[in-house]
Amino acid sequence: MKLEFHIEHAGPDAVLIRFGDQLNTDLVPIIRAATKRLQKEFQEEIRGLVPSYTTLMLCYDPRKNDFPSIQHKIQQHLANLNISPTEMGKLVEIPVWYHPEVGPDLQHVAEYHQISIDDVIHRHSETIYQIFAIGFAPGFAYMGNVSDQLATPRLKTPRPHVAAGSVAIADQQTAVYPISTPGGWNILGRTTMKMFDRNSPKLCPVRPGDRVKFVSVSKAEFLLAGGQIE
């Protein structure tokens, strides 16, 4: 099957490679494979690659390439790209203590869907999510898809403060707040996993294309792992 994509201007030193127009988990292995191929082929010739939901941004050195030349090289490098359905990143398990003490929107989400809090926890933790992009804040990984039976609109009024480690949902996406920041997502619980560590060589334990499984833990396990209740 021929790989379909479009290359667009994204500034004087960047292009946007568009693989689709709608959120689709089928694009995850395609964008991941394209990222790996272009990183290998271009190496020091480019300044960076930024994968996202349906696109891949490539930043290049305008002293070495212009738009027509970089466009031609991308088309050449991706012409024979072998896309495997198993081209997925690693599976990362994130422990979560789901409880109103650290998940102030658990009750709201349960009432919105007319289910119990236990059902909310089960529905959120039974799915394996794909990481589409990292942005908004360092280490903030946008994951999906949250099932229709759990998807809940974001809050009408964002909170001025959301604790680091808060696990939340908004519509069909879920994420972990890596640092303390304002936010308008529905908070279900909290994890002790650091989603951004400036002292770690990798900075973030996950990357676009990886998969995440949230694992429910008890309050005792959460506190033993260093969790804090604000």
Domain made up of 91-224: CATH architecture = Beta Barrel (2.40)
221/36: higher pLDDT: 221
Domain 6-78 grouped into CATH 1.10.10.10: no
> Do 54 and 18 meet the contact criterion of CB atoms below 8 Å apart?
yes
Average pLDDT of the chain is: 91
Residue 202's pLDDT is 82
Of 11-15, 151-155, 162-166, the one with minimum mean pLDDT is 11-15
For helices 27-42 and 67-78, the axis angle rounded to 10 degrees is 120
- Separation of alpha carbons 34 and 51, rounded Å: 9
**Sign of the C-alpha dihedral, residues 159, 104, 224, 192?**
negative
158-198 residue pLDDT tens? 999 999 999 999 999 999 999 999 999 999 999 999 999 88
Q: What CA dihedral angle connects 78, 81, 86 and 88, to 10 degrees?
A: -20
In CATH terms, are 6-78 and 91-224 the same topology?
A: no
pLDDT of residue 27: 86
Dig out the tokens for 17 from the structure. Answer: 């490679």
Res 85: pLDDT: 58
pLDDT at 218 over 90: yes
47: tokens are 């300044």
Which pLDDT tens digit goes with each residue over 14-34? 999 999 888 778 888 888 889
- Helix extents (H) in the chain: 27-42, 67-78, 106-113, 117-125, 219-224
For the chain, the domains span 6-78, 91-224
pLDDT over 80 (residue 99):
yes
Name, in order, each residue with C-beta under 8 angstroms of 96's C-beta and a sequence gap of 6 or more. Answer: 125, 167, 188, 189, 190, 191, 214, 215, 216, 217
Residue 199 sits at φ, ψ, to 5 deg, of -90, -5
Instruction: Count CB neighbours of 88 within 10 A.
Output: 16
Residue 23 near residue 145, CB atoms below 8 Å: yes
Q: Which candidate, 206, 211, 215, places its Cα nearest to that of 128? A: 211
Distance CA 38, CA 42 (A): 6
Question: Which has the higher per-residue pLDDT, 123 or 65?
Answer: 123
For residue 199, the model assigns a pLDDT of: 84
pLDDT tens profile 133-143: 898 888 999 99
Give 70-96 pLDDT, tens digit per residue: 999 999 999 888 776 556 678 999 999
Question: What is the percent of the chain with per-residue pLDDT over 90, rounded to a whole number?
Answer: 67
